[in-house]
Amino acid sequence: MNPTWVLVRARYADVPPDWSPRIDVFIEHGAPSVLEEEGALVAYFPEVAGIEEATARLSKALQADGATVEIGRLVEQDWTANFRDHFKPRRIGKRFVVRPTWEAFDAGPDDVELVLDPGQAFGTGDHATTRMCLELIEDVLAEGASFLDVGCGSGILSIAARKLGADPVVGIDVDPLSVEVARENAERNGVAATWVAGNGFDAVDRTYDVVVSNIISAVLIRVAPDAAEAVRPGGVWIVSGVIRDNWPDVRAAAERAGFALEKRLEELEWVAATFRR
Amino acid sequence: MAKKITSVIKLNIPAGKGTPAPPVGPALGQAGINMMEFLKKFNEQTAPQMGYVMPVEITVFEDRSYSYKVKQPLVTDLIKRAAGIERGAANPKTDKAGVLPKDKLRAIAEQKMADFNTKDVDMAMRIVAGSARSMGVRVED
């Protein structure tokens, strides 16, 4: 069956001199691209479990901004073939191969395949922050290490860790839709992990060998002390999602919490790093 | 002689990362233009600005040929970068997301002036300041 997309259209009575704050509301809610119509903005979201809650949150934010919201559906049509042609299996780090569900890949004995559906909003492994995280995880993860992913998104990092032999693997995200997507992705990859919808480190009640947070700088700075409590002495905290300008503050927060910088990667304007406790 | 314009499509697409997923696919497909060719060019051209969302205006002609113009990044993205924040405030009326110094406000206004269709830098600055306010970013001297 063809995938279905949920359409969200916001109509406005007035024409602002700059549409970007209104477009930004869509982008902040996970829309990759936004179409401008006469007096309206339109975006689409893949229909996965939890989409009603996600679109309800977006609608509320749009209405607070004075928009009239319409929700519709679009069944993927002939542009699908082209869309899918766009995604080919690709290598990340030394061993990872991210492949879309519909593409076959002849994996070598050392290759670790991550099967994802790039139709989904997040986690095609395409973004620099995700790619760097995968490389850092590959660097430090030992067989049997315990692994915690705070801000798990599509679950790609947790799934990767499990495939490298981490056990147990726990993924937490504040967005219930992400948790649902992560669960589906884990099943697709034939791996078991625990998925939790929750705020930051609130639900964490033990220590881990490896903790990963691919979030944003402000949150990383705030949760650094919680991360220190969740990492066992000698374990690591891998952070990503940091714009280069914010890196000094993130590093300072981690060091204040008792971490020492071990490795730092940089791509475009993004920074990712491994801290050891 | 100028070709007849059949439609103008306005999209906001992440730099270097355009895909045929909707709304891009249906909008361009409907207009009958070569979507993959457009996306390839768009992605190549905007790769240096990766991380920003780029407004792009595609003009489609009667014979299904097209031209397009990539504009400067979204004002909100430029403000976020200049203020060193990843997000605007959830409740801009009560929360403060960050501070935008006046000189950076001016730089953004100058960068976006052509897109705003004005030659008046003060007017452009007022527009940018309005957008900053709507995301809970305070402008300071």
Enter the ipTM: 0.94
Domain span at A37: 4-81
Q: Which of A66, A81, A96 is the last residue of a domain?
A: A81
| Whole-number pLDDT of residue A100 | 80
| Whole-number pLDDT of residue A122 | 46
pLDDT reading at A120 higher than 70: no
Q: How confident is the model over A180-194, as a mean pLDDT? A: 91
| Whole-number pLDDT of residue A224 | 97
- Within this chain, do residues A122 and A35 fall inside the same structural domain, yes or no? no
Of all residues in chain A, the percent with pLDDT exceeding 70 is 91
Q: How confident is the model over A241-265, as a mean pLDDT? A: 94
pLDDT tens readout for residues A85-104: 556 788 888 899 988 877 78
| Whole-number pLDDT of residue A174 | 85
- Within this chain, do residues A247 and A132 fall inside the same structural domain, yes or no? yes
CB pairs under 8 A between A and B: 117
Choose among B21, B50, B86: nearest Cβ to A32. Answer: B21
| Whole-number pLDDT of residue A219 | 87
* Global pTM value: 0.58
| Whole-number pLDDT of residue A191 | 95
| Whole-number pLDDT of residue A269 | 75
pLDDT reading at B56 higher than 60: yes
- Within this chain, do residues A182 and A211 fall inside the same structural domain, yes or no? yes
- Within this chain, do residues A60 and A132 fall inside the same structural domain, yes or no? no
Distance between CA atoms of residues A172 and A29, nearest Å: 18
Do the chains contact at B86 and A218, CB–CB below 8 Å? Answer: yes
- Least CA distance to A247: which residue of chain B? B84
Q: Which of A58, A81, A104 is the last residue of a domain?
A: A81
Q: What is the DSSP string of chain A?
A: ---EEEEEEEE-SS--S--HHHHHHHHHTT-S-EEEETTEEEEEEE--TTHHHHHHHHHHHHHHTT-EEEEEEEE--THHHHHHHT---EEETTTEEEEETT------TT-EEEEE-TTSSS-SS-SHHHHHHHHHHHHHPPTT--EEEES-TTSHHHHHHHHTT-SSEEEEES-HHHHHHHHHHHHHTT---EEEE-STTTT--S-EEEEEEES-HHHHHHHHHHHHHHEEEEEEEEEEEEEGGGHHHHHHHHHHTT-EEEEEEEETTEEEEEEE-
For residue A4, give every residue at least 6 positions away whose Cβ sits within 8 Å of its Cβ, in sequence order, or none.
A47, A73, A74, A75, A76
Tally of structural domains, chain A: 2
pLDDT reading at A37 higher than 60: yes
- Within this chain, do residues A110 and A224 fall inside the same structural domain, yes or no? yes
Which residues of A fall within a CB distance of 8 Å from B10?
Answer: 35-36
> What distance in Å separates residue A207's CA from the closest CA in chain B?
29
Token pair of A110 as six digits: 């050392």
B10/A contact by beta carbon, under 8 A: yes
| Whole-number pLDDT of residue A80 | 44
- Within this chain, do residues A44 and A113 fall inside the same structural domain, yes or no? no
Q: Which of A15, A48, A81 is the last residue of a domain?
A: A81
Which residues of B fall within a CB distance of 8 Å from A82?
Answer: 20, 25, 35-36
- Within this chain, do residues A115 and A63 fall inside the same structural domain, yes or no? no
Contact A158, A167 (CB under 8 A): no
- Within this chain, do residues A12 and A59 fall inside the same structural domain, yes or no? yes
| Whole-number pLDDT of residue A119 | 46
- Within this chain, do residues A117 and A236 fall inside the same structural domain, yes or no? yes
Buried b (16+ CB within 10 A) or exposed e, B110-129: eebbebbeeeeeeebbebbb
- Within this chain, do residues A214 and A101 fall inside the same structural domain, yes or no? yes
pLDDT tens readout for residues B1-52: 578 888 899 999 999 888 888 899 888 887 877 777 788 889 888 888 988 9
Q: Sorting pLDDT into bands at 50, 70 and 90, what band is B69?
A: very high
Of all residues in chain B, the percent with pLDDT exceeding 70 is 99
pLDDT reading at B64 higher than 90: no
| Whole-number pLDDT of residue A244 | 86
- Least CA distance to B109: which residue of chain A? A18
- Least CA distance to B123: which residue of chain A? A17
Q: How confident is the model over A251-262, as a mean pLDDT? A: 97
Domain CATH for A50 = 3.30.70.980
pLDDT reading at B57 higher than 90: yes
Do the chains contact at A34 and B9, CB–CB below 8 Å? Answer: no
Domain CATH for A98 = 3.40.50.150
CA A89 to chain centroid: 19
Q: How confident is the model over A109-133, as a mean pLDDT? A: 73
- Within this chain, do residues A180 and A259 fall inside the same structural domain, yes or no? yes
pLDDT tens readout for residues A202-251: 999 999 999 999 988 888 999 999 999 999 999 999 999 888 888 999 99
- Within this chain, do residues A13 and A113 fall inside the same structural domain, yes or no? no
pLDDT reading at A48 higher than 60: yes
B129/A contact by beta carbon, under 8 A: no
- In B, residues 25-44, which contact A (CB 8 Å cutoff)? 25-27, 29, 35-36, 39
| Whole-number pLDDT of residue A231 | 98
